[in-house]
Amino acid sequence: MRLSVIEALCEPSAAHNEDAWGRSGEAVWVLDGATGIGDRPHLSGPTDAAWFAERINSELVEALAAAGDIGAALNRAVEAVRQAATPLCDLDSLPNFELPCASFTLARAVGETALEFANLGDCRLAWRVGQGPVATFGTSGVTELDARMERLVAENLARGLTLEEVGAAAKALAREHRKLINIPEGYWILDISGAGVPHLQLEILQAREPMDVLLMSDGFSRLVDVYGRYDYDSLLAAVLNRGLAPLYAELRAIEAGDPECRTFARNKTRDDATAVLLRFA
């Protein structure tokens, strides 16, 4: 069996896209750059997150072709990106919460009978064998932090704070959350130091029947996790039956209908949205 890209979508929420997806040989991945919370950008892209996601995405093509081990490939890509960033800023002087970082998820065919999954951060990977139930792969400490953020936004809106006040409180909490990057009491993610790579989650599945796989940034999986419009079974079924574009339109329509985040409490009104539908058959 071979791994095929059936459809892909990568759309920004505003002027700059901090998501990316790519392919190298039998590997396909999604990256979701974490929006910077420093007072100013440090690198040469439109945002540090966009710069980092684009650079890692490019370096992974060669790194995965050269290294059979996914962790080794990530380390190789991170080192190349770090070298590119060094002339632009003094990385060692930056606090950890200002280092550019991204969530990462990947599916890779291993021979003709197995798929390997990898995850670091809060991207989403949903899959099913044949017509069976949908399963998901990967966990992240960011999930609980996002829930805490949603509670803060909802509470402050209920208290009658202005949108500007709600946004300021959310940014302050986001900075505290970012200080937990790549430490045991926090969460593991792909950043320019590579400290999270040893905590990469991996799994190999033997495929006895064709498999459908959906890779997503959390901006697209909001349809399940934030808006509750689908569960992962019905989301994958909808993608297979209707395609990604109608689901993306539905996502943006929900957000356009709730511009002040009062129905669905969230830190960002919109987020970059990426989804890649794969077939292993």
Coil/strand/helix, residue 113: coil
Across the range 42-69, mean pLDDT stands at 89
Cα dist from 133 to 7, 123, 130, 251, whole Å: 21, 20, 9, 23
Q: What is the pTM of this model?
A: 0.93
CATH code for the domain in which residue 44 is found: 3.60.40.10
**Mean pLDDT over all residues of the chain?**
92
Does residue 87 carry a pLDDT above 90?
Answer: no
Q: Range with the lowest mean pLDDT among 30-39, 113-122, 267-276? A: 30-39
Alpha helices per DSSP H over 142-264? 142-158, 163-178, 222-225, 232-242, 244-256
Range of the domain at 177: 3-280
Q: Please state the domain count of the chain.
A: 1
Does residue 39 carry a pLDDT above 70?
Answer: no
Integer Cα distance of 184 and 35 in angstroms: 22
- Please report, rounded to a whole number, the percentage of residues in the chain having pLDDT higher than 90: 72
